[in-house]
Amino acid sequence: MTSAPSPAAPANPGELRQRLFEAGYIADDALANVLWMALRLERPVLLEGEAGVGKTAIASAAARALGRPLLRLQCYEGLDLGQAVYEWNYSRQLLEIRLADADAADRGHLREHLFTEEFLLQRPVLQAIRSPQPAVLLIDEIDRADEAFEAFLLETLAEFQVSIPEIGTLQAVSRPLVVLTSNSTRDLSDALRRRCLYQFVDYPELGREMDIVRRLVPQAAERLVSEAVAFVHRLRREDLDKTPGVAETLDWVRMLFELGHECLPEEAATLLGTMSALLKTRADAFQMNEDLVRRLAGGRRVAEDAGVVAPADGARAARV
């Protein structure tokens, strides 16, 4: 059974931005531009920013928007080629050796036969460049991988090929859109940065984050969305170990909706009881108290002054 053909490439950044919106991601002009240029120039793109700003979601949305499969490589300390690129199928090679032992005529061709693509186990990087259909390759949190692995990637990022000592160089069958993300936990090499287009991804502005929540939690009341997002924006200015990201905002709004709230509850104790959706460390939870919750809930007035939140009488918020 053949897969459905991928839709045509977007003609311009505006079309790509619309496709991303339809795929559930609200991109700004800068992000749409860099992704479109990455497609046109066949260059990797490096997305850098704090954890929780939505970098991984960008790659997922791009795959949906382009009608491409998503191949994800989660980086970590100690990641090697066997998990990321390829390894030999040793059990199958051993079986071939045993079969050759039983048939003397096969022994002469055994060595050449064992080290071919037929016996390779393809991992995400090799899968992406050998895929007949162009894919989106997400190399997530590249800053967590060792510098040695980062150095190995340079050939793939520059030439879309992988060198395997036993075989030689495997060229790309199709060129994937490569998206690398980094939380800036360590400095990346100049060599890697030069091979990529670059985009810094920050927490979304107030109005844009409201649009994101409206889009992904459409069942929530307008006033609840407005007040909750304003609260989170104030919370991010506090001295926290783990600043809540967009995913935490979405979880919190969903929690409040499931609890039956159409706006932020007036009782500080009730509001405090929902902080598990936003706060992810013991230290952050410990410093949160009813007085701080009351102060942060006042962030609603800041949004009203900016003209993006409905006033308390229930009028709908202005769209950004």
Query: In the predicted model, what is the mean pLDDT of the chain?
Result: 87
Measured N-to-C along each axis, helices 290-297 and 299-306 cross at an angle, to the nearest 10 degrees, of 10
Q: Which of 61, 69, 57, 59 is nearest to 22 (CA)?
A: 61
| Residue 180 DSSP SS3 | strand
Q: What is the 3-state secondary structure (H, E, C) of 75-120?
A: CCCCCCHHHHCEEECHHHHHHHHHHHHHCHHHHHHHHHHHCCHHHE
For 91-143, how does the pLDDT look when each residue is reduced to its tens digit (9 = 90+)?
776 877 776 665 555 555 666 667 777 888 899 999 999 999 999 999 999 99
**pLDDT tops 50 at residue 305:** no
Q: Worst-scoring range by mean pLDDT, 36-45, 86-95, 230-239, 245-254?
A: 86-95
Q: Tell me the CATH number of domain 13-78+130-200, given options 3.40.50.300, 3.40.50.970, 3.30.1330.40, 3.40.220.10.
A: 3.40.50.300
Do 2 and 130 contact (CB within 8 A), yes or no?
A: no
**pLDDT tops 60 at residue 319:** no
Beta bridge partner(s), residue 199? 47
DSSP H stretches of helix in the chain: 13-22, 29-41, 55-66, 81-84, 90-102, 110-114, 124-130, 147-159, 190-194, 206-216, 222-235, 246-258, 268-272, 282-287, 290-297, 299-306
**pLDDT tops 80 at residue 37:** yes
- Residue 144 DSSP symbol: G
* Domain regions of the chain by residue span: 13-78+130-200, 86-122, 206-306
CA–CA distances in Å: residue 226 to residues 52, 166, 178: 20, 59, 35
| 103 or 162, greater pLDDT | 162
| 103 or 148, greater pLDDT | 148
Phi-psi region of 44 (alpha: psi -120 to 50; beta: other; left: phi over 0): beta
Q: Worst-scoring range by mean pLDDT, 79-88, 189-198, 252-261?
A: 79-88
For residues 255-260, average pLDDT = 97
For residues 8-18, average pLDDT = 94
